[in-house]
Amino acid sequence: MRKDAHGTTPAQPPPAKLQRALLRWYDAEKRDLPWRGTKDPYSIWLSEVMLQQTRVDTVRPYYQRFMETYPTVFALAEAPLERVLGDWSGLGYYRRARMLHAGAQQIVRDFGGELPREVEALRSITGIGPYTAGAVASIAFDVRAPLVDGNVARVLARIFGVEEDVRGGAGRARIWQIAESILPQERAGDFNQALMELGATVCSPSSPRCGPCPVRGMCVAFASGEPERLPNMAPKAKPRPWKRAALVATLGADRVLLARRKRDLLFGGLWEPPTLDASNDRDEGDGARLLALAGVKAEVPVRAGEITHVLSHRKMTVEVYRAELRSAHATLGQNQAGASLDEGDGEYDAIEVVARTSAMRRGMSTLARKVLRAGGIEVNMGRSEGEATK
160 contacts ligand SF4 (rule: CB under 6 A)? no
Evaluate whether 159 touches 10 at the Cβ level (below 8 Å).
Answer: no
Helix (H) or strand (E) holding 348: strand 348-355
268 contacts ligand SF4 (rule: CB under 6 A)? no
Measured CA to CA in angstroms, residue 62 lies from 47, 65, 101, 196, 383 at distances of: 9, 5, 15, 21, 9
In the bound complex, what is the minimum distance in angstroms from residue 204's beta carbon to ligand SF4? 8
In the bound complex, what is the minimum distance in angstroms from residue 215's beta carbon to ligand SF4? 5
**Residue of the chain from 10, 127, 189, 208 that contacts ligand SF4 (CB under 6 A):** 208
**Residue of the chain from 219, 270, 367, 372 that contacts ligand SF4 (CB under 6 A):** 219
Sequence letter at residue 124: S
- State residue 305 phi and psi, 5-degree precision: 155, -175
Per the rule left: phi > 0, alpha: psi between -120 and 50, beta: everything else, 40 is beta
- Sequence length of the chain is 390
**Residue of the chain from 23, 153, 221, 304 that contacts ligand SF4 (CB under 6 A):** 221
In the bound complex, what is the minimum distance in angstroms from residue 216's beta carbon to ligand SF4? 4
Nearer to ligand SF4 among residue 224 and residue 384 (C-beta): 224
Nearer to ligand SF4 among residue 133 and residue 219 (C-beta): 219
257 contacts ligand SF4 (rule: CB under 6 A)? no
76 contacts ligand SF4 (rule: CB under 6 A)? no
**Residue of the chain from 125, 153, 203, 320 that contacts ligand SF4 (CB under 6 A):** 203
Q: Is 118 marked active-site?
A: no
**Residue of the chain from 45, 222, 267, 348 that contacts ligand SF4 (CB under 6 A):** 222
Evaluate whether 303 touches 359 at the Cβ level (below 8 Å).
Answer: no
159 contacts ligand SF4 (rule: CB under 6 A)? yes
Count residues contacting ligand SF4 (CB under 6 A)? 15
Whether the CA torsion 309, 316, 350, 337 is positive or negative: it is positive
Segment lying near ligand SF4 (by CB under 6 A), choices 5-13, 92-100, 125-133, 151-159: 151-159
Measured CA to CA in angstroms, residue 1 lies from 4, 9, 220 at distances of: 9, 7, 9
**Where would I find the H helices in the chain?**
15-29, 41-51, 56-69, 73-78, 81-88, 95-111, 119-123, 130-135, 141, 150-160, 169-181, 188-201, 220-224, 286-294, 356-359, 366-374
179 contacts ligand SF4 (rule: CB under 6 A)? no
Question: What's the rounded Cα separation, in Å, for the pair 299 and 320?
Answer: 15
In the bound complex, what is the minimum distance in angstroms from residue 12's beta carbon to ligand SF4? 13
223 contacts ligand SF4 (rule: CB under 6 A)? no
Looking at the DSSP assignment, which residues form a beta bridge with residue 316? Answer: 242, 309
**Residue of the chain from 213, 247, 323, 379 that contacts ligand SF4 (CB under 6 A):** 213
Nearer to ligand SF4 among residue 223 and residue 353 (C-beta): 223
Residues interacting with ligand SF4, by CB under 6 A? 155, 158-159, 202-203, 208-210, 213, 215-216, 219, 221-222, 227
List, by residue number, the catalytic residues. 48
